[in-house]
Amino acid sequence: MEMAFASPEDKFGIKLRSRKTLSLEQNTAMIMGSIYMVGGIIGFFYTGFSHITERTTTSVFGIFMVNPYHNIVHIAVGALWLMGAFALTQAGTEGLNIAIGGVYILATVLGFLGYLYLLNIPTYGGDNYLHLVSGTIPLIFGSGLLRAFSGRETATA
């Protein structure tokens, strides 16, 4: 009868982890990952699944040009961001945010110069600005930059 009221640690030898709150960097990765996953899925409603790398004039909401390959890239980046938010430490998530933010800043530059078509990713004015915002947000909120300027340092475990 005493095992019925025992804790999981006593019964099975499993240590319960305390629920920790996510850092600003991890929250940024979670929000950006969710947005990109949903955006990639919505893109498939406009493009379908055929002619994956075809250059197209299909646009989501009349603003963002997409093809199935572009949707796959958004879903993959969103999944990477979500995995980083929940599986990595705060420092690891900062590095992930810096890396993805840097890639999106590069995509912005390539898009404005007209070279993003070399990667079979269609762009329009809206796409370039979306990439600019998608690169800037993780670099500001997800890189620890705000924590450094606020003067408060948190211990990373």
Tokens linked to 14: 């499993």
- How much is the pLDDT for 157? 47
- How much is the pLDDT for 51? 79
Q: 6: how many CB neighbours lie within 10 A of its CB? A: 10
Closest by CA position to 112, among listed 96, 135, 143: 135
Tokens linked to 92: 């690891």
- How much is the pLDDT for 28? 92
Using DSSP bridges, classify how beta strands 59-60 and 64-65 pair: parallel, antiparallel or unpaired: antiparallel
Higher pLDDT, 75 or 126: 75
Mean pLDDT of all residues belonging to the chain: 82
- CB 105, CB 132: distance < 8 Å: yes
Q: pLDDT tens-digit profile of 21-71? A: 888 889 999 999 999 999 999 988 888 888 777 777 777 777 777 888 888
CA distance 116 to 52: 16
The model's pTM is 0.76
Place of tokens 């078509």: 117
